[in-house]
Amino acid sequence: MDLLELYVQGLKGATEPARLAFTQPVTMVAAGVREQLYVRIMLDLLYPKGTEPTLIDLDEAGQQSRVGLTVRGRDGTIFRLLQDVHTGRRALQRGVDGKAEPISNAAAEIAQAVTAQIGFPQEDILRELFFAVADDLPSRRARAPSAAPAKATTSATGKAERPLPPGFGGAVGGPGAAAAKPLPPGFSDEGAPVADPHDDAAMRRRLAEIDAALGAAQGVRDLEFEIDGLQKRLFDLDAKIKPLLTLRRSAQQAEEQGKRFADLDGVPGDLVEQGERLRRIRADHDRDLERMAGERDQLLESSKTLDRRGRQNPVAVAQKDRFVQAGVGVGVGAIVLGVVGALAFPPLRWLALLDIPAFGVALYGGLRVLGDLEGGASVARRLERLDAEKKRLEERFRIDEQHLTAMLKQHGYTLEQLPDLAERLTASDEARRLMEQTRGALAEAEKAGDVSTLEAQQHEAQTRLRSLEEQLQGQGGFGGPGDLEREKAEIEAALAAAAAPDQGGTPDPMPSAVETASSRGLQPAPDLGRRLLELARDVFLAPIEEIATSYAPRASQMLATLTDGRYREVRFLHNLKTHLVDGASGEELPFGFLPAADRDIAWLSIKLALIEGALKRARVPVVFDRSLDGLPDAKGPLLARMLAFLAGGTQVVCITAKTTIR
């Protein structure tokens, strides 16, 4: 999950629209009036509460007040959360193909989608564990009611004993009795046997054991440091190997997909295009044949008589024409009748003049015959041209069809299978393109290291880690160095007291940190270290005691670094209450009675250790909102490196006014 962009407009003190793009692994933001509202706005958008406007106090009168947050979900989907500050109207949208697709406008459905679809944890876990806000610092929390001071105990001899140091003893048979650490000499346990302070030999033997254990404790710290480095290295190797393995699987799947189309390797790429061309030629061929058949029918219909006459001799055809026959017959008859009749009766010679119109009729008939014969010849020629064109079309189509059929037959296909071939060629091209992409991505990724090399390094680191853990387990019985040094100091004090002459009376008990604070009228501050453990329990899905044991060493390293050794260890004692071990005296100081600045540093150290572990399980954005500004300027470079280290596993946003960090 990643934060992509935050948009604000029309807020009090920040009326101008502003967009904050979270594009860098560590996004540094200068803390101003507007920037101090960012975390509140983000949490309000991610976890809506009902339908009422919850940011109404930020609404600038007369302005269009809107806020929006764009995030990337755990599956890579882009989501956008929007809110109108004045009315409280909300919207959740999902990006699909570059467009915003509405999901819901209901606050309850949006809150459910944020955790179920987008993948953010519950609000208290995100706000109190992964976000570090200045207002949540322990120094800004109210103190709890005053705690009763520790009471001194009385030994079996009637002498008052010093109060039990933090983390030791407890009521016999009471809660935590089994987990209580052994009492050092000089302390009682309300009825439990107390070591004889006069047994110098036993105490000196114990001192020798403690000295040996302290010598081994340095080795334990070295082992823990190396184990922490190996765990970080394994985490980095795993982050490199997983994408490579994913790409390798994708490349293998693409190659297997490509093998399904191995029979298409020799098929020309334009074969389907040629098939489409043949379809177009066939359609044009059928259309032309249909056109020519229509023209032929029209020609035959318009010249039925001429078609019957055929291409006969014009004289023979004219002799059969009725106009020619009638004209010639009447003309010749009129001439014969006029000549012969004039011999008997001279006026009959005028009948010979009828030959003129008769021969005119014969001429008309002859011309009509010639016209019909010429028209018939034209129709015949047009029919011949249509037949020749039809023959050419059929010949061209036959050649194209034979060429494509031969190519298809060469690869085992027929014209009827051409649509299936087209689908397979398309799928083959897609498989080939995917295979080339995955091979290119794999080759690019393997430039940083081959999978086999990285796996060999991972195996070597795991082997070394197991060996170190076995060594650490074998030396784990020595206890913490602070416990041993405190016990050594107690035994030495008891030996010194035993060597001193008895002055009588009851010795003054050594005041504990709780007694000192109570005597000054201070009330204990809330133990926010235990609260962080309780939140981490829902992330790690492990018992809180196991979490405390696993991450106390890492928190101790950060605490010692941030305090320059003033505190050297974080311990969770007395029902997992947070204690810090003083670097000089070795005293275990309860969290609630620490100075305000030291409580802030302890809280940040525990939070950072738990965040490092949580990021190995899920990618959740980490935000520091002015929570680092209280640290000394000299720690700026160290804090910058710390943020860069966290950015190796997730997205980090730091809102700060300190230029030394930025």
CATH class in words for 2-120: alpha beta
What pLDDT band is residue 575 in, cutting at 50, 70 and 90? confident
- Which two tokens mark 513? 């940190």
Residue, of 344 and 306, whose pLDDT is higher: 344
170 within 8 A of 177, measured Cβ to Cβ: yes
Give the Cα separation of 88 and 91 in Å (integer). 10
Secondary-structure percent of the chain, ordered helix, strand, coil, rounded to 5: 60, 10, 30
Report pLDDT digits (tens) over 15-49: 778 888 888 889 988 888 788 888 888 998 898 87
Report pLDDT digits (tens) over 532-569: 998 998 888 888 889 998 999 999 999 998 988 899 89
Q: How many CA atoms lie within 13 A of 637 on its CB side?
A: 1
Give SS3 for 16. coil
Instruction: From residue 597, give the alpha-carbon distance in Å to each of 135, 570, 630.
Output: 14, 16, 8
What pLDDT band is residue 304 in, cutting at 50, 70 and 90? low
54 within 8 A of 48, measured Cβ to Cβ: yes
Span 229-245, average pLDDT: 74
Burial of 589 (0-12, 13-18, 19+ CB in 10 A): buried
pLDDT at 193 over 80: no
Please state at what angle helix 544-562 crosses helix 200-259, rounded to 10 degrees. 100
Handedness of CA 10, 15, 19, 22 (dihedral sign): negative
H-run or E-run covering 103: strand 99-104
What pLDDT band is residue 307 in, cutting at 50, 70 and 90? very low
Q: Which residue is it, tokens 């190796």? A: 648
Give the Cα separation of 356 and 327 in Å (integer). 9
- Which two tokens mark 197? 């302070």
Q: How many CA atoms lie within 13 A of 658 on its CB side?
A: 19
Bridge partners of residue 577, in order along the sequence: 573
94 within 8 A of 103, measured Cβ to Cβ: yes
Parallel, antiparallel or unpaired: strands 26-30 and 652-656: parallel
Q: What does the radius of gyration of the chain's CA atoms come to, in whole angstroms? A: 52
Residue 605, pLDDT score: 93
Break the chain into its structural domains and give their ranges. 2-120, 198-259+418-503, 271-410
Q: Phi first, then psi: what are they for 21, rounded to 5°?
A: -95, 125
Give the Cα separation of 570 and 318 in Å (integer). 134
Q: Which residue is it, tokens 């944890």? A: 121
Residue 160, pLDDT score: 40
Give the Cα separation of 556 and 186 in Å (integer). 29
What average pLDDT does the chain have?
75
Give the Cα separation of 645 and 185 in Å (integer). 45
What pLDDT band is residue 499 in, cutting at 50, 70 and 90? low
Residue 367, pLDDT score: 78
Bridge partners of residue 14, in order along the sequence: 11
The model's pTM: 0.47
Angle (CA) 442 447 450, round 5°: 75
Give the Cα separation of 91 and 124 in Å (integer). 22
How many whole angstroms from its chain centre is CA 259?
Answer: 30
What single DSSP character describes residue 146?
Answer: P
Q: Phi first, then psi: what are they for 43, rounded to 5°?
A: -65, -35
Pick from 88, 133, 123, 433: which is nearest to 257 by CA? 433
Give the Cα separation of 464 and 455 in Å (integer). 14
Query: Which of 131-140, 176-185, 355-364, 389-398 has the least mean pLDDT?
Result: 176-185
**Rounded percentage of the chain residues whose pLDDT exceeds 70:** 71
Instruction: From residue 456, give the alpha-carbon distance in Å to each of 246, 252, 353.
Output: 18, 21, 132
Residue 478, pLDDT score: 39
Parallel, antiparallel or unpaired: strands 66-72 and 99-104: unpaired
Residue 623, pLDDT score: 93
Residue 610, pLDDT score: 92
602 within 8 A of 578, measured Cβ to Cβ: yes
Q: Counting every residue, how long is the chain?
A: 662
Those residues with Cβ within 8 angstroms of residue 151's Cβ, 6 or more apart along the chain or in another chain: 163
Question: Which DSSP string corresponds to 538-579?
Answer: HHHTS-HHHHHHHHHHHHHHHHHHHTTTSEEEEEEETTTEEE
pLDDT at 591 over 50: yes
Residue 173, pLDDT score: 35
Q: In 182-311, where does DSSP find H-type helix?
A: 200-259, 271-302, 304-309
Give SS3 for 69. strand
pLDDT at 576 over 50: yes
Give the Cα separation of 457 and 447 in Å (integer). 16
241 within 8 A of 450, measured Cβ to Cβ: no
Handedness of CA 562, 566, 571, 574 (dihedral sign): negative
What pLDDT band is residue 585 in, cutting at 50, 70 and 90? confident
Report pLDDT digits (tens) over 379-438: 677 777 878 888 888 887 788 777 777 777 776 666 666 677 777 777 777 777 887 888
Residue, of 504 and 432, whose pLDDT is higher: 432
Report pLDDT digits (tens) over 650-661: 999 999 888 888
Residue 373, pLDDT score: 64
Residue 105, pLDDT score: 86
Pick from 229, 130, 237: which is nearest to 539 by CA? 130
Report pLDDT digits (tens) over 247-299: 777 777 777 776 776 666 666 666 667 677 777 777 887 887 888 788 777 77
Q: Which residue is it, tokens 């061209």? A: 396
Burial of 597 (0-12, 13-18, 19+ CB in 10 A): middle
Bridge partners of residue 428, in order along the sequence: none
- Which two tokens mark 9? 């407009």
Residue 240, pLDDT score: 73
Bridge partners of residue 6, in order along the sequence: 20, 69
Give the Cα separation of 369 and 312 in Å (integer). 11
Residue 128: count other Cβ atoms within 10 Å of its Cβ. Answer: 17
- Which two tokens mark 217? 């404790």
612 within 8 A of 646, measured Cβ to Cβ: yes
37 within 8 A of 135, measured Cβ to Cβ: no
